[in-house]
Chains A and B, each alone.
Chain A
Amino acid sequence: DIQMTQSPSSVSASVGDRVTITCRASQGISDWLAWYQQKPGKAPKLLIYGASNLQSGVPSRFSGRGSGTDFTLTISSLQPEDFATYYCQQANSFPYTFGQGTKLEMK
């Protein structure tokens, strides 16, 4: 199975900050990666597909980069509604696997 490792596991930041979350795959997955945002008690929401493509309706302050094994999700200027947990997910091969999550907390 492909292991997905996110870092950091948690991060404290302030409104207006730039935040980057990293996701590393245990083997190459090309660009078969998605990023999701999840708020407590809610279903995940797709932010980024194909490693770097912004899902329709998602604010442009979110961006994704990477290919192969190393990927990043960047929020360019944090807004209050961005405090949530973020997950990466690979779909290059079965079983799909998710990263362990990164909790973004308000400083």
Chain B
Amino acid sequence: EVQLVESGGGLVQPGRSLRLSCTASGFTFGDSVMSWVRQAPGKGLEWVGFIRSNAYGGTTEYAASVKGRFSISRDDSKSIAYLQMNSLKTEDTAVYYCSRDHNTPMESTYYGMDVWGQGTTVTVSS
């Protein structure tokens, strides 16, 4: 079964750090592009960032709201993507989802984020 499972969420004080994990199964993780998307309580979806596969350099892209504070990495040997969140702010409070994405120079169109985890909740509060 194709699956993504996020973990690592919780309650954290402003200014502190937290690392989320996204564990993949049922597909070739190393070939996959991975995105993180968040949703603040009662709000819409906000894209956080993206990591390409190592075939495309494993490079990353970020939303302006998190650039310089958040970083995405991957461990293909463990089929895990990470979201390292530093200098957390109260406005980072949200459910964080990881997703399998399809966006490479080889694609002729955008195939979307077709697999999603169940989400993990991050609450930033003193």
Q: Tell me if B's interface is mostly helix, strand, loop or mixed.
A: loop
A94 to B64, CA, bound (A): 10
* Cα-based distance from A34 to B102 in the complex (angstroms): 11
Between B61, B103, B111, the greatest number of chain A beta carbons within 10 A of the residue's beta carbon is seen for B111
Contacts of B113 in A (CB 8 A): 34, 36, 44, 46, 89
CB contacts (< 8 Å) of B46 on chain A: these are 98
B119 and A95 contact, CB distance less than 8 A: no
Given A43-B97, A95-B62, A96-B50: A49 in contact with B109 (beta carbons within 8 A): yes
Given contacts A91-B103, A94-B61, contact A46 B44 (CB under 8 A): no
Q: Give min CB distance, B73 to chain A, whole Å.
A: 18
Is A89's CB under 8 angstroms from B117's CB?
A: no
Q: Is B119's CB under 8 angstroms from A43's CB?
A: yes
- Of B63, B110, B116, B118, which contacts A32 at CB under 8 A? B110
Question: How many chain A residues touch B (Cβ–Cβ < 8 Å)?
Answer: 30
The tally of CB-CB contacts under 8 A between chains A and B is 72
Contact in complex: A50, B109 (CB < 8 Å): yes
User: Interface residues of A: mostly helix, strand, loop or mixed?
Assistant: loop
Q: CB within 8 A of B112: which of A38, A55, A92, A101?
A: A55
The interface centre, meaning the residue of B45, B112, B119 with most chain A CB atoms within 10 A of its CB, is B112
Known: A44-B97, A96-B35. A49 touches B61 (CB 8 A): no
Tell whether A95 pairs with B47 under 8 Å between CB atoms, given A43-B118, A55-B114: yes
**12 cross-chain CB contacts under 8 A:** A36-B45, A43-B118, A50-B110, A55-B112, A87-B45, A89-B45, A91-B103, A94-B61, A95-B47, A96-B50, A98-B47, A100-B44
The interface of chain A, by Cβ under 8 A from chain B, is 1, 30-34, 36, 38, 43-46, 48-51, 53, 55, 87, 89, 91-92, 94-101
